[in-house]
Structure 1
Amino acid sequence: MQEDFLHYLWKFKKYAFAKAETTTGLPITLINVGQHNHLAGPDFFNTTLVIGNQKWAGNVEIHLKSSDWYAHNHETDAAYDNVILHVVWEHDVEIYRKDNTAIPTLVLKELVVEKALRSYKELFNNQSQQWINCENSIREIPQMIQSNWLERLYFERLTRKTEHITPMLNKVNGDWEAALFVLLMRSFGTKVNANAFQSIAEKIDFSIVRKCAQEPFRLEALLLGMAGLLPENTIDSYPMQLQGEYEFVSHKFQIASDGVLPVQFYKLRPDNFPTLRLSQVAQLYHKHLNLFQKMMSAATVAELYALFDIKASQYWDTHYSFGKDQKKRAKKLSSSFIDIIIINAIIPLRFFYNQYLGKDESEVLLSMMHAIKPESNSIINKYNSLRDRAQNAQETQALLELKANYCDLNKCLSCAIGNYLIKH
């Protein structure tokens, strides 16, 4: 039995509330269950009820056992002084406020609707043997309920993805274009080099990026040099030229690479080598002035894809790293890589920027996410085996949020799918 289940019973009146009475035999008439509180303090605020002939307005606290009141030290916490009813599964001790007045207690154990209790037990049985609690039942959930829930989960995930943007924006003194540069650098670094690429971006004032971007060779030299990727002793003319350019630029703008995290090649596919990715960033910023405004005003995913129609500089047509010739192939951005950037950088920043402006572009963002192919990984593949296949990136992002922050935490009673299964 989880305390969340008692919250569910109280919130949705899934008990014989017409028979409710205190442990001292006084009838309880519920007028308003109150507002569910998910933060510190009593579980429900602003509840209205009648106990005996006395009307009360205040807060409700819920526990598995009455004695949990003392186990959690509520008797000494002023936040609980206005509790008008203690709702429990089992009553094992009388409880009192700080002023020694007794708090009425309602025991739910004998009042629960049998079907709700049975559905709850079925949902949480054999947890250790299941990937998710509802894996045998999720196909039964109506498509409308799943779609609405996954849309809400997507925006929950989007909100979490924007939490790091505020400190990032503060670091660049509110310059949105600079914040975008940091986010894009992090995305171009992929998981392996995300932190290293971000550390490079944060070491270079964006005004310098703007100036160097007029000549892509200069910006490429700056990025590769800051990453420590330029060989010092080489007979290859291109890295020699880059090294000379980096020395000039770093001296001119007084930039040093101290504090930049080392980049990694280990376990990376050649197309994700940091040499290529940094060259592509340089070409992106050379091709597009005011990149932030273009990305914030794009009406479709196709417009965003067009912005990323770039390739690494010509040297990389025959190289993945310095000094090693390879078969000639232009190193363009793949559509799957662009999708990752849109999902993890552009749309979260645009969502955050719209909030800053007081605008609501939810439908535009959803339309963009619906136009992006569904992601493929072990979690999505498992969900696809249990329910209808995810059709787009909005669904897959929502499913990742569902798994990490609901299924894995057994928060079925906070989930629309779990709620449906218990109600039905």
Structure 2
Amino acid sequence: MRFPESFLHFIWQFRLFQALNLFCTSGESLKIYAVGMPNKNAGPDFAQAKLSIDGRNWIGDVEIHLKSSDWFLHGHQDDPGYDAVILHVVYEHDRPVYRKDGTEIPVLILKDLFPESLLTHYEGLVNSVHTFPCEKLIHSIDPVIINGVLSRMMIERLRQKSELVFDHLAKMNGDWESTFYHFLAKSFGFKVNEIPFEMLAASLPLSVIRKHLDHPLQVEALVFGQAGFLSASFKEAYPRSLKTEYLFLQKKYGLIPIGVGAWRFLRMRPQNFPTVRLAQFCALLLKSDRLFSKVMELEDLPELKKLLQNLPVNPYWITHYHFHKEAKKVEVQLGASSVFHLIINVICLFIAAYGKYSDQPDLMNRGLQLLEEIPAERNVITKYYQQAGVRLDNAFFSQAVLQINKYYCAQKKCLNCGIGIKILNQ
């Protein structure tokens, strides 16, 4: 056997086996009226199947294994939840299985009931050496089907990310502003420095920053000090002032900075250095108090872009990309791709998540519609799918591609993907 049990689930669920003149191993005739509903939780694999065994109708659960003996390998004999199994579907039958009342569970062997070509196609997908399993085949699938699958992927992605928001919201005792601040900081890390930015937000509560929004230097001192960049000695006036302010505020609030070694500078353009990103982050905090409330008030994409543009970044950073390194000129404003990155990963997410939390479907739709107005993201992953023939018209679909790549393609879960199923069914 060269395939996982999920392949048999696929065969059973989509009835890709010879369904006429079926017999159980005991010789009883078998008719299948409904294969049942896949069970993603604990318990038998399919629930509410409808069968007829030797003329007697049954409604119950179906369990699927590669070998009958896997029933014992998985410990089902000790689980009362499996007493309602009416059919054991296997690839090979090597051992009878009995219910607790002593009756034998009927067995259907699938081994010779489906074409060998189906297994060959499946192996060709999961053993593919391409960048994703169906890279050379996806062009043959109707774009309408692909878009339908990607739309479901985007909804799944939004649900998963919303759960992360709700988990953090619970830790913040329902404070949406602090939760938004946490995710905004994390997103400012732009992958490379995502973790240290998240650590920074955890070590520097929004409630502390709010007390000093009328004093930009103090906010900058808090952020750069907590980031660990003010521990050195400085010759220039600006960093010296920051250090003086921070030492006072650190003692006042009992703050513990994160290690400066957590930040990554290598193989980055100066305008992407974490010091510049921290300066931009400070400017955004200073530009608008209660950012989450502000975001919820803004109606369209141009207004949201405006919020993230023309930030009041301290002039020091126009000629510096590090406290100890001067430069002729540094671009201190967020570029278009960075603005869209923040809108996609934080603002759209929070609009939709708040809509779900407060039972306002219009807000959920607004978050998705914003994604449709934003250009598709360009990265290594989206490039592969576009080269394979997948059309990505906007960020809605580029986000969906990131989801399907991470949770399906990279894990070779073709049997759980609508596109993979369509290819196997061709």
- Give TM-score, length-normalised by structure 1: 0.92
Matched residue, 1:305: 305
How far does residue 45 in structure 1 lie from its aligned partner after superposition? 1.1
Matched residue, 2:91: 89
How far does residue 292 in structure 1 lie from its aligned partner after superposition? 0.3
How far does residue 332 in structure 1 lie from its aligned partner after superposition? 0.4
**Cα 1:277–1:133, aligned 2, differ >3 Å: closer, same or farther?**
closer
SS of the aligned residue for 1:279 comes to helix
Decide whether the 8 Å contact of 2:44 with 2:82 is kept in 1: yes
How far does residue 181 in structure 1 lie from its aligned partner after superposition? 0.9
How far does residue 14 in structure 1 lie from its aligned partner after superposition? 2.2
- For residues 283 and 345 of structure 2, the distance between their equivalents in structure 1, rounded to whole angstroms, comes to 21
**Cα 1:287–1:7, aligned 2, differ >3 Å: closer, same or farther?**
same
Deviates more, 1:77-86 or 1:201-210: 201-210
How far does residue 274 in structure 1 lie from its aligned partner after superposition? 2.4
Matched residue, 1:321: 322
Deviations 1:85-135 (A, max 9, x none): 0112222322212333200011223333x4xx5244224227153333322
1:20-419 → structure 2 map (5 Å cutoff): 20-112=22-114, 114=115, 117-125=116-124, 127-230=127-230, 232-252=232-252, 254-258=253-257, 262-267=261-266, 268-309=268-309, 310-360=311-361, 361-419=363-421
- For residues 346 and 306 of structure 1, the distance between their equivalents in structure 2, rounded to whole angstroms, comes to 13
**Cα 1:367–1:92, aligned 2, differ >3 Å: closer, same or farther?**
same
- Overall identity of the aligned pairs, in %: 37
Amino acid at match of 2:117: R
Query: Aligned pair count?
Result: 420
Decide whether the 8 Å contact of 1:200 with 1:260 is kept in 2: no
- Give TM-score, length-normalised by structure 2: 0.91
SS of the aligned residue for 2:88 comes to strand
- For residues 386 and 320 of structure 2, the distance between their equivalents in structure 1, rounded to whole angstroms, comes to 39
- For residues 271 and 51 of structure 1, the distance between their equivalents in structure 2, rounded to whole angstroms, comes to 71
Amino acid at match of 1:347: C
Decide whether the 8 Å contact of 2:355 with 2:364 is kept in 1: no
- For residues 131 and 282 of structure 1, the distance between their equivalents in structure 2, rounded to whole angstroms, comes to 39
How far does residue 148 in structure 1 lie from its aligned partner after superposition? 0.8
- For residues 305 and 51 of structure 2, the distance between their equivalents in structure 1, rounded to whole angstroms, comes to 57
- For residues 182 and 294 of structure 2, the distance between their equivalents in structure 1, rounded to whole angstroms, comes to 16
- For residues 265 and 45 of structure 1, the distance between their equivalents in structure 2, rounded to whole angstroms, comes to 50
Amino acid at match of 1:37: N
Amino acid at match of 2:265: Y
Amino acid at match of 2:359: G
Matched residue, 1:421: 423
Deviations 1:269-304 (A, max 9, x none): 211222222222221122112210222343333222
CA RMSD of aligned residues (A): 2.2
- For residues 50 and 265 of structure 1, the distance between their equivalents in structure 2, rounded to whole angstroms, comes to 64
SS of the aligned residue for 1:192 comes to coil
SS of the aligned residue for 1:88 comes to strand
How far does residue 156 in structure 1 lie from its aligned partner after superposition? 1.6
SS of the aligned residue for 1:59 comes to strand
**Cα 1:364–1:65, aligned 2, differ >3 Å: closer, same or farther?**
same
**Cα 1:233–1:90, aligned 2, differ >3 Å: closer, same or farther?**
closer
Decide whether the 8 Å contact of 2:228 with 2:257 is kept in 1: no
How far does residue 84 in structure 1 lie from its aligned partner after superposition? 0.7
Deviations 1:328-356 (A, max 9, x none): 34510111112222222222233322221
- For residues 415 and 43 of structure 1, the distance between their equivalents in structure 2, rounded to whole angstroms, comes to 18
